[in-house]
């Protein structure tokens, strides 16, 4: 609590032939946070182990297969151990899948190719001549295309004037007619002229070459083929699904196993290395230090050298937060923001204390609290991954119920006499909010004082942090004398104010002076505790009033009233949850943290442990 886990710096060194043993042992211990070595004039970084390329190759294949089979889960009970078994099984799966994917590809190709043919056949289907008629002739020419229906008669007349040797096929389509005109080649030019006059638009058919029978017959054949292939495609899809189901556990287990193996094989990239030796730098929690070193030495048969020492002041120590189980979920907020550095106060416990209270004051309704409590309990079971997040919300919802009793609200309805009414006693709540603000901001300043004390000494802590408290005193004294609550000279307050400004100037420089008004806006910002709550209450009351009117009318209108209640309160709960959560969080991040928090540390991530 308040301080992160104590860490010790560890250096492990030995000859190259021990490297693999050490890596294997460290990986199974899951205790050492490795500090990556960067190449310098003494030592280069290490080379990956021999099997690394093969491992990554198989891993890529496994991941490709998982992607192709659409496997998304990552949990399985199955365990695989042998790399060659993974390799051969993966090949077998890939072969089976390959046949299906090839066939799918062919089917897709057929569909994209046959689209053009289908379009042509659609146009030709009304004309009852075999497709092979559209060939090249020595003494016959033909035209295909569209003209307007009303021009058909004049076309026939004009043609008959020039020659009797022609055949005209036609099919109508809306206001247009599709025609196929076969004519003696000597009259080709004449026919062309006539057609041009009638605004004929020609079409070339290239897709139908080599087809036999009429267009309608061909079209029917094409449809049959298409529906057969579509059915086949469905079948293949089902077969792939079956394949995925069958090999799911294997693929997930292999991915996990290979990931671990590859992590080991590539570990030397983080080490310092010479041609014949290696050196690993890292951090181990001090509690586990002796045990871990013993285990390492035993595994390496005492043929490695391990050096350890406590963290020095200038060290960049990876941080493992240490909090009691009840406050642990609130570490989530630090993960989201920044990990506190090794030597500063870990604020998790304070967030645990104040976050649910702020949330509760803002939402503050027995009904809303109970509803969200139920919802989050359910969601926690549904989404175990986000357990920490839901634990925070469950606690916050519980506190909401408590504040609901204080405010006497149940879905906006005043069900009991409130100790303090949010709807009617805005000013009382406003003063209360500001008072909470003063306390919270000063708590932040006190933590800041301790942080500065530890890192920069007593005087700096006084100048940089205690100055703010002097400033507040000055403002308070001035206000009290102004309102004649205490009768002293206003110069005393002004003197405090002046003193604090001088201290700030010394402690934080000009930047501190610019920040001066922030203390007021920071405290005023806590007015949101009242404001968010007020808007939530008023919305709830409006919903109730609207629904109430319908209830009075009776009969069918009661149903509408119930609907308004359900939808209105559901929306208000969502808004309330979002607002209360964000604003409570913001009060911590902006108003509270700015008083003491630096952050920016690396999180302690032991080698071999899985990311959570």
List residues binding another protein (CB under 8 A). Answer: 333, 335-338, 426-427, 430, 521, 524-525, 527-528, 531, 534-535, 582-583, 585-586, 589-590
- Choose between 137 and 431: whose C-beta lies nearer to another protein: 431
- Choose between 431 and 491: whose C-beta lies nearer to another protein: 431
Shortest approach of another protein to residue 426 CB, angstroms?
6
- Per the listing, tokens 């076969």 go with 182
| CA angle centred on 67, ends 64 and 72, rounded to 5° | 135
- Give the side-chain half-sphere CA count within 13 A for 70: 8
Let me know: does 592 contact 445? Beta carbons within 8 Å: no
- Choose between 68 and 534: whose C-beta lies nearer to another protein: 534
Burial class (CB in 10 A: 0-12, 13-18, 19+), 118: middle
Shortest approach of another protein to residue 253 CB, angstroms?
28
- Choose between 337 and 405: whose C-beta lies nearer to another protein: 337
- Choose between 13 and 338: whose C-beta lies nearer to another protein: 338
Residues whose CB is less than 8 angstroms from the CB of residue 247 and which lie 6 or more positions away in sequence, other chains included: 65, 69, 89, 93
Shortest approach of another protein to residue 583 CB, angstroms?
7
Distance CA(205)–CA(519), nearest Å, equals 82
Shortest approach of another protein to residue 334 CB, angstroms?
9
Residue 22 backbone dihedrals phi, psi, to 5 degrees: -60, -45
Let me know: does 281 contact 34? Beta carbons within 8 Å: yes
- Choose between 178 and 526: whose C-beta lies nearer to another protein: 526
**C-alpha torsion sign, points 330, 334, 339, 344:** negative
Shortest approach of another protein to residue 551 CB, angstroms?
29
Shortest approach of another protein to residue 430 CB, angstroms?
7
- Choose between 427 and 556: whose C-beta lies nearer to another protein: 427
Closest-CA residue to 580 (of 392, 378, 381):
392
Shortest approach of another protein to residue 547 CB, angstroms?
26
- Per the listing, tokens 């989404």 go with 383
Shortest approach of another protein to residue 528 CB, angstroms?
5
- Choose between 383 and 524: whose C-beta lies nearer to another protein: 524
Which alpha helices (DSSP H) does 364-425 contain, by range?
A: 366-382, 387-407
Shortest approach of another protein to residue 601 CB, angstroms?
14
Which helix (H) or strand (E) segment holds residue 495: the answer is: helix 490-508
**C-alpha torsion sign, points 566, 569, 572, 578:** negative
- Choose between 524 and 542: whose C-beta lies nearer to another protein: 524
Distance CA(57)–CA(59), nearest Å, equals 5
Distance CA(247)–CA(240), nearest Å, equals 11
Residue 562 backbone dihedrals phi, psi, to 5 degrees: -65, -40
Shortest approach of another protein to residue 298 CB, angstroms?
39
DSSP assignment of 416-476: S--SS-TTT-HHHHHHHHHHHHHHHHHHHHHHHHHHHHHHH-HHHHIIIIIHHHHHHHHHH
Closest-CA residue to 159 (of 198, 122, 123):
198
Shortest approach of another protein to residue 16 CB, angstroms?
36
Structure tokens at 594: 């700015």
- Choose between 415 and 589: whose C-beta lies nearer to another protein: 589
Structure tokens at 307: 């050096």
Radius of gyration of the chain (CA): 40
- Choose between 64 and 514: whose C-beta lies nearer to another protein: 514
- Choose between 192 and 535: whose C-beta lies nearer to another protein: 535
Residue 271 backbone dihedrals phi, psi, to 5 degrees: -90, 160
Let me know: does 284 contact 8? Beta carbons within 8 Å: yes
Shortest approach of another protein to residue 397 CB, angstroms?
20
Three-state SS at 508? helix
The most distant pair of C-alpha atoms in the chain lies apart, rounded to whole Å, by 126
- Strands 277-285 and 272-273, by their bridges, are antiparallel
Shortest approach of another protein to residue 362 CB, angstroms?
12
Distance CA(572)–CA(570), nearest Å, equals 5
410 alpha-carbon distance from chain centroid: 35
Shortest approach of another protein to residue 348 CB, angstroms?
15
DSSP type of residue 340: P
- Choose between 171 and 535: whose C-beta lies nearer to another protein: 535
- Choose between 467 and 525: whose C-beta lies nearer to another protein: 525
């Amino acid at each position: 609590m308040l301080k992160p886990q104590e860490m010790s710096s560890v250096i492990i060194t030995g000859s190259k032939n021990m490297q693999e043993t050490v890596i294997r042992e460290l990986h199974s211990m899951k205790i050492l946070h490795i500090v990556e070595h960067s190449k310098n004039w003494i030592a280069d970084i290490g080379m990956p182990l021999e099997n690394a390329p093969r491992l990554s190759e198989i891993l890529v294949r496994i991941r490709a297969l998982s992607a192709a089979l659409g496997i998304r889960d990552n949990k399985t009970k199955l365990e695989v151990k042998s790399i060659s078994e993974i390799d051969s099984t993966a090949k077998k799966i890939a072969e089976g899948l390959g046949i299906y994917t090839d066939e799918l590809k062919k089917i897709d190709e057929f569909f994209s190719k046959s689209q053009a043919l289908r379009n042509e056949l659609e146009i030709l289907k009304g004309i009852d001549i075999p497709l092979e008629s559209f060939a090249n002739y020595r003494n016959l020419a033909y035209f295909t295309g569209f003209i307007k229906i009303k021009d058909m008669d004049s076309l026939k007349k004009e043609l008959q004037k020039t020659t009797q040797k022609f055949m005209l096929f036609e099919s109508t389509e809306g206001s247009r007619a599709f025609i196929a005109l076969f004519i003696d080649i000597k009259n080709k030019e004449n026919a062309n002229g006539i057609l041009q006059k009638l605004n004929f638009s020609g079409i070339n058919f290239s897709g139908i070459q080599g087809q036999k029978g009429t267009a309608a017959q061909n079209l029917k054949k094409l449809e049959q083929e298409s529906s057969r292939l579509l059915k086949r495609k469905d079948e293949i899809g089902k077969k792939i699904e079956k394949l995925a189901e069958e090999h799911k556990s294997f693929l997930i287990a292999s991915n996990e196993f290979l990931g671990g193996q590859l992590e080991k094989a590539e570990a030397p990239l983080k080490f310092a290395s010479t041609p014949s030796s290696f050196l690993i730098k890292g951090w181990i929690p001090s509690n586990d230090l002796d045990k871990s070193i013993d285990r390492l030495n035993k595994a390496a048969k005492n043929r490695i050298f391990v050096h350890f020492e406590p963290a020095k002041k200038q060290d960049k120590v990876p941080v493992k937060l240490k909090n009691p189980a009840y406050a642990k979920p609130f570490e989530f907020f630090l993960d989201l923001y920044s990990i506190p550095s090794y030597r500063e106060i870990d604020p998790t416990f304070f967030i645990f204390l104040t976050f649910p209270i702020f949330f509760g004051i803002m939402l503050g309704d027995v009904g809303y609290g109970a509803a969200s409590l139920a919802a989050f309990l359910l969601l926690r079971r549904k989404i175990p991954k986000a357990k920490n997040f839901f634990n925070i919300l469950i606690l916050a919802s519980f506190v909401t119920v408590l504040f609901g009793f204080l405010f006497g609200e149940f879905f906006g309805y005043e069900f009991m006499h409130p100790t303090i009414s949010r709807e009617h006693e805005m000013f009382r709540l406003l003063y209360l909010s500001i008072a909470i603000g003063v306390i919270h901001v000063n708590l932040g300043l006190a933590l800041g004082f301790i942080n500065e004390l530890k890192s920069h000494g007593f005087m700096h802590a006084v100048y940089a942090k205690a100055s703010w408290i002097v400033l507040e005193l000055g403002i308070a004294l001035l206000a009290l004398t102004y309102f004649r609550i205490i009768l002293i000279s206003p110069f005393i307050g002004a003197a405090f104010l002046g003193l604090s400004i001088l201290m700030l100037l010394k402690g934080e420089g000009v930047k501190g002076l610019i920040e001066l008004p922030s203390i007021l806006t920071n405290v005023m910002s806590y007015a949101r505790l009242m404001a968010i709550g007020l808007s939530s209450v008023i919305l709830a009351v409006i919903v109730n009033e609207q629904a109430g009117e319908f209830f009075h009318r009776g009969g069918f209108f009661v149903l509408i009233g119930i609907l308004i209640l359900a939808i209105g309160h559901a929306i208000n709960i969502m808004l309330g949850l979002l607002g209360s959560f964000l604003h409570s969080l913001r009060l911590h991040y902006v108003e509270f943290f700015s008083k003491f928090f630096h952050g920016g540390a690396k999180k302690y991530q032991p080698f071999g442990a899985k990311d959570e």
